[in-house]
């Protein structure tokens, strides 16, 4: 929620940053530009597994592979 006057909001509409909706205004293309939660969670899981793999290789050697059985959420 942002506070401002109707004239300030109209300036943002005029330059194409906001668009009017039934309840006021919204940022143009906001929903399109935001990353879906499922994508964000997938990226976090990938980063977690990559870190576990790197640590496994660092501490156990390249042939260990214990990271493959690691829980991606933990």
Strands (E), the chain: 18-21, 24-27
For residues 74 and 66, give the distance between their C-alpha atoms in angstroms, rounded to a whole number: 14
Indicate left, alpha or beta for 26 from its phi (over 0: left) and psi (-120 to 50: alpha).
beta
- pLDDT, residue 72, reads 56
The H helix count followed by the E strand count for the chain is 3, 2
- pLDDT, residue 1, reads 66
Q: For residue 42, what pLDDT band results from cuts at 50, 70 and 90?
A: very high
- pLDDT, residue 13, reads 93
């Amino acid at each position: 929620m942002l506070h401002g006057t109707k004239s300030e909001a109209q300036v943002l509409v005029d330059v194409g940053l906001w668009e009017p909706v039934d309840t006021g205004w919204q940022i143009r293309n906001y929903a399109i530009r935001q990353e879906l939660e499922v994508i964000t969670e997938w990226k976090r899981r990938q980063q977690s597994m990559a870190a576990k793999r790197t640590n496994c290789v660092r501490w156990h050697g390249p042939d260990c592979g214990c990271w493959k059985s690691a829980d991606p959420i933990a």
